[in-house]
Amino acid sequence: MQTVTITERFLRYNHECFKNFVIMKRIHLSVMACFLCLCSYCQIFDFGVTGGLTVSNPKDAGSHVGYNIGVKGELVLGEGYNDFFFSPELLLVNKGWKELVYVAEDDSKTLDWNWNLNYLEFPLLVGMRLYKDRKTQLIWEAGPYLAVGLWGDNKFNDDPGLGTSRIFSDKVCERFDCGVKAYAGLEWGRLRCGVNFSYGFMDTMKDQYDVLDKRKMLTYGLQLTYMITK
């Protein structure tokens, strides 16, 4: 029987933390480089802050209410009665789901198993602004997104000691995700309010833990944005 000492566990944990740090550093540098390129080559580039509620509802699982917060850019591609624009975002998004687990000793008793996953998400959206000459304008956006898992946990309400608080490092869930995202809303000056929808292409769970069908992320929610430089 193979034994693992406390020192070995500590070294493995530090190794995982260092790998996560390297991944995050590369992502941050890449995103900063993209924004700097846009700002240097484009004359009409605005940015703002955005946030809201995110409701996750994967297949065969209970819904989870989370949040999203981050920054948003907008590069006008064509001006006219209707504006076309490219809109990259950098968001911290909380997703997850809830499962009901039956207790072996008592089939009538169930426990809530809550999954919380926090991602750094990078949507690359293309949009259109309608009714530009009016005070209230209609905006729609759509495009792909890339995401990397930062941290997460899966805990039971009645027994928080069960589960893991390092859901990506322990290889319970896939760290990377990608999919499509859409948004529709109204704009009043610098303020925007609307709804968003996203669908993930990747199976969130590792194969050995996914006892059900493919656990792909399906989210929708409310979004509030304030464009600072418009």
List C-alpha distances in Å: 117 to 53, 68, 97, 166, 196.
Answer: 15, 12, 9, 10, 19
Among 21-30, 92-101, 217-226, which is the least confidently predicted range? 21-30
Furthest C-alpha separation in the chain: 74
3-state secondary structure 157-169: CCCCCCEECCCCC
Closest by Cα among 150, 218, 128, 226 to 181 = 218
What's the pTM value of the predicted model, to 2 decimals? 0.76
The three-point CA angle 51-56-58 to 5° equals: 155
Using one digit for the tens of pLDDT, what is the confidence trace for 39-50? 555 557 888 999
At residue 214, the 3 state secondary structure works out as: coil
Taking 80 as the threshold, does the pLDDT of residue 104 lie above it? no
Residue range 66-89: average pLDDT?
87
pLDDT number for residue 4: 42
Distance between CA atoms of residues 77 and 162, nearest Å: 51
pLDDT number for residue 1: 38
Taking 70 as the threshold, does the pLDDT of residue 52 lie above it? yes
112 with 157: CB under 8 angstroms?
yes
Domains of the chain plus CATH, in order, are 44-227 (2.40.160.20)
pLDDT number for residue 13: 47
Q: DSSP per residue over 3-63, as a string?
A: ---HHHHHHHHHHHHHHHHHHHHHHHHHHHHHHHHHHHH-SSEEEEEEEEEEEE--TTSB-
Using one digit for the tens of pLDDT, what is the confidence trace for 143-186? 999 999 999 988 877 666 666 778 888 888 889 999 999 999 99
